[in-house]
Structure 1
Amino acid sequence: TTHATTHETTHATTHATTHETTHETTHATTHATTHATTHETTHATTHATTHETTHATTHATTHATTHETTH
């Protein structure tokens, strides 16, 4: 009885610990991945928007200046 009880308790504890560890690791990994993806996407979008806005503004300003100077 003692042996069986110890065996079952160990088994149950190991199972629960493994389950919780897997759960927490998965949760942490998912959270970190989501956070990183969101961060990188935001960064890339901001960079692209800034780049394109700067490019368009420079182009328009240059065009207008050239036009007015020529005129």
Structure 2
Amino acid sequence: TTHATTHETTHATTHATTHETTHETTHATTHATTHATTHETTHATTHATTHATTHESTH
């Protein structure tokens, strides 16, 4: 009984830890990707706008 209980507890803990780790990793990756995409989009838009404005002013 003691052995079985220990085994089940260990199994449950391992499962919960793995699940949480996977969840956190997924969340972190998604967050990082979203942040990077947003940053790049903002950067590209700003760059394009600046370039167009400069071009038009020069022209």
When Rg is computed on C-alpha atoms for both structures, the one with the higher figure is 1
Task: Return the offset for 1:68.
Answer: 17
CA RMSD of aligned residues (A): 8.6
User: Shift of the alpha carbon at 1:60?
Assistant: 17
Flag the 1:56–1:31 CA change in 2: closer, same or farther, 3 A.
Answer: closer
Can you give the 5+ residue segments of structure 2 that lack an aligned partner in the other structure? Answer: none
**For each residue in 1:1-52, what CA deviation from the matched residue of structure 2 results, as whole angstroms up to 9, or x when unmatched?**
000000000000000000000000000000000000xxxxxxxxxxxx9999
Moved runs in structure 1, 4+ residues, more than 4 A?
49-71
CA shift at 1:66, angstroms?
Answer: 18
Uncovered stretches (5+) of structure 1, i.e. residues with no partner: 37-48
**Equivalent residue for 1:54?**
42
User: Which whole-Å CA distance do the structure 1 matches of 2:43 and 2:28 have between them?
Assistant: 40
Q: Give percent identity, aligned residues only.
A: 98
Q: What is the aligned length?
A: 59
> Residue 7 and residue 35 in structure 1: after superposition, are their counterparts in 2 closer, same or farther (change >3 A)?
same
> TM-score, structure 1 length as denominator?
0.51
